[in-house]
Structure 1
Amino acid sequence: MNIDVTTRNMNVLECFSSETRVRIIELLNEKPYNIGELAEALGLSSAIITKHIQKLEEAGIVSTENTVGKRGTQKRCSLNVDKLTLVLRTAEEEKPGSQSGFAVDLPVGQYIRHEVHPTCGLASSYKRIGMMDDPRYFDDPERMTAEHLWFASGFVEYRIPNYLVGKEAASSLSVSLEICSEAPFYNDNWPSDITFSINHIDVATWTCPGDFGSKRGKYTPEWWVDTQYGLLKVLSITDEGTFIDGVRFSDIRIHQLNVQAGQELLFRISSPESAANCGGVSLFGKNFGNYPQDIRVTITV
């Protein structure tokens, strides 16, 4: 997982400004712990540990799940990434058609194909688009202004502009996006198996732990009261396999996706009804959630 040292990644960088959070990471490096065990090991209250865990979870460093214990339900915590690299000097963004590749941002409402089921809907930065829980409005022309969309099951599919030329073929493809589950209103404990596909090939299925709404998203408009933010996830397909946040998720390699000049590039995000955890999808654009970005695609050659 590569993190640019910029203000837009402050929620990740701030995780390491606290000795308590670093000690939590040290403990979770050994094995998963529940909140009570962490509190006992660090000599702090469960309430304080819970706040630190929430910050680590929002940054994507820690994941949690509710399990049944001797004294009822317990929140089990584990590390979500194995390695995190701070990038201090970033290369200038490549322009379309350059020999080393290109990067593009896709607005969340710019999908070309969809099949969604309620609960579902769209919102711009200043209003809801159409009626709630009515899939017909996913065809509304105003969808192009959407900064937030959600659905309980189904998919949305995007066409990635292809600026490769001549005999160029991609050596890697990465997609960065803010995403979470979708529950009615919100539910921080709402697992969802979300599948990412490139050119009709399922490359990875990631289980999101919840639909986050217990506190306001940094960029979420004041008028919005439901789901507030997601987790920033980076999907990468290289010649070594497919990774999410640096963790290997499948053996699908870039050459299997036919990413070359003249070929259509399709990216699908789905939550199938047949999934073990069919918990839906919520997507966030640059004016919603905790990260000021749309769906960012980077292709290198």
Structure 2
Amino acid sequence: MSEIKELMQRYPASRIIDVAKALSGDLRLRILEVLGEQSMSISQLAVKLGVAQPTISINIQLLEQAELVSSTLGVNREKICSVTCRTILLELPTKLGEGLHKLEEIHMPIGMYSSSSVGPPCGMVNREGLAIGCVDDPRVFYMPERTEASLLWFGGSGYVEYYFANPVPPGVLFDELRFCAELCSEAPGFHQEWPSDIVLFINDCRVGQLSCPSDFGDRKGKLTSSKWTGGTEYGLQTTWRVTSNGSYVNEERQSDLSLADLNLQYNKPIRIRIEVPVDAVHCNGMNLFGSSFGDYPHDLILSFFQIHDAHDN
């Protein structure tokens, strides 16, 4: 039988949309049905439901985001999935802005960048910790296999840039844009005292700088493959925010840059560049972690939040 963590899961009004999205697909409901009887791996679910493994993985990720499913790593580091509860309780909103909080959320694999500029040392590995192409060869960053990357890195200065669709319909206002990633500095092997200044740009506007203190390798990353022996194990989960009155990195105010300055348009992509500038005080590279590496089971996340009702403006 599946190990249920709670008989009932309570969700505040701000989580209703997450839960509703997770429950809105037939396949996800079928997954919950199967997991209600016993825990299963991704491959077992694929066989049981007659669906390709990548499709199962995507739908499991949506259920995980809603905290309806939790996952652990099995003996072969394959994801083992279980339901978290038997019953859910949704708290309906009681005041303006309480229910409609997160408008949209887009997850982007780290290997799906649109452009890059890196030099050796550099490289990338898949979820099993196996090298994609040749290590320290920048040409790897142009190979189609890069889409399978779960960890990528470069030393010194450089960047990777991603194009996100703007999912917010014309005329719908939002109050905050957030970008979340797990990352750290890049040293040969690893180095616990190796600071690097990592800057986020949105549509070429400087949002803010993370001064990461380390290339972390003092312990095994919670998700990092046992086959990986490259030194770097995990990173810092970092959130950049742009609001109507300023920009922030992990709640620390960076500048007066506002949403209006980003020139966001519904029919144009949102360009997000993660960069170690050549003129940075600490120009010591970057490691970027995907959902199967490091400590946090997610890819890059771009979220759109609405704090107030658009009709009140």
Establish whether TM, by shorter chain, passes 0.5. Answer: yes
Aligned AA (1:101) = L
For the Cα contact (< 8 Å) 1:161–1:265, is it kept in 2?
Answer: yes
Q: CA deviation at 1:250?
A: 1.5
Secondary structure of 1:129 counterpart: coil
Q: Summarize the alignment of residues 1-301 of structure 1 with structure 2, pairs less than 5 Å apart.
A: 89=12, 91=15, 92-93=17-18, 101-126=103-128, 127-152=130-155, 153-225=157-229, 226-301=231-306
What is residue 60 of structure 2 aligned with on the other side? none
Q: 2-side partners of 1:151 and 1:257: how far apart?
A: 27
For the Cα contact (< 8 Å) 1:181–1:281, is it kept in 2?
Answer: yes
1:110-141, CA deviations, whole angstroms, 9 ceiling, x for partnerless residues?
10000011111011112210111111000010
State the structure with more CA Rg.
2
Q: 2-side partners of 1:100 and 1:121: how far apart?
A: 35
Q: TM-score, normalised by structure 2?
A: 0.65
Q: CA deviation at 1:100?
A: 6.2
For the Cα contact (< 8 Å) 2:185–2:194, is it kept in 1?
Answer: yes
Secondary structure of 2:147 counterpart: helix
Aligned AA (1:164) = V
Q: 2-side partners of 1:218 and 1:132: how far apart?
A: 24
For the Cα contact (< 8 Å) 1:170–1:260, is it kept in 2?
Answer: no
Q: CA deviation at 1:263?
A: 2.4
Secondary structure of 2:186 counterpart: coil
Q: CA deviation at 1:261?
A: 1.4
Q: 2-side partners of 1:267 and 1:156: how far apart?
A: 8
Aligned length: 214
Q: Find runs of 4+ consecutive structure 1 residues off by over 3 angstroms.
A: 87-90
Aligned AA (2:255) = S
1:147-171, CA deviations, whole angstroms, 9 ceiling, x for partnerless residues?
1000112000001121122223442
CA RMSD across the alignment: 2.1
With over 3 angstroms needed to count, the CA separation of the structure-2 counterparts of 1:99 and 1:222, relative to structure 1, is closer
1:250-279, CA deviations, whole angstroms, 9 ceiling, x for partnerless residues?
211111101231122000000122211001
Secondary structure of 1:256 counterpart: helix
For the Cα contact (< 8 Å) 1:169–1:261, is it kept in 2?
Answer: no
Q: 1-side partners of 2:297 and 2:181: how far apart?
A: 10
Q: CA deviation at 1:239?
A: 0.8
Aligned AA (1:168) = V
What is residue 27 of structure 1 aligned with on the other side? none
Secondary structure of 1:118 counterpart: coil
Q: 2-side partners of 1:236 and 1:170: how far apart?
A: 13
For the Cα contact (< 8 Å) 1:169–1:260, is it kept in 2?
Answer: no
1:71-125, CA deviations, whole angstroms, 9 ceiling, x for partnerless residues?
xxxxxxxxxxxxxxxx974513286xx9962101110101000001111101111
Q: CA deviation at 1:145?
A: 0.7
Q: TM-score, normalised by structure 1?
A: 0.67
Q: Percent identity?
A: 36
For the Cα contact (< 8 Å) 2:181–2:301, is it kept in 1?
Answer: yes
Q: CA deviation at 1:299?
A: 1.1
Q: 2-side partners of 1:107 and 1:264: how far apart?
A: 16
Aligned AA (1:241) = G
Q: 2-side partners of 1:211 and 1:180: how far apart?
A: 6
Q: 1-side partners of 2:211 and 2:277: how far apart?
A: 12
Which range moved further: 159-168 or 173-182?
Answer: 159-168
Q: 2-side partners of 1:146 and 1:105: how far apart?
A: 14
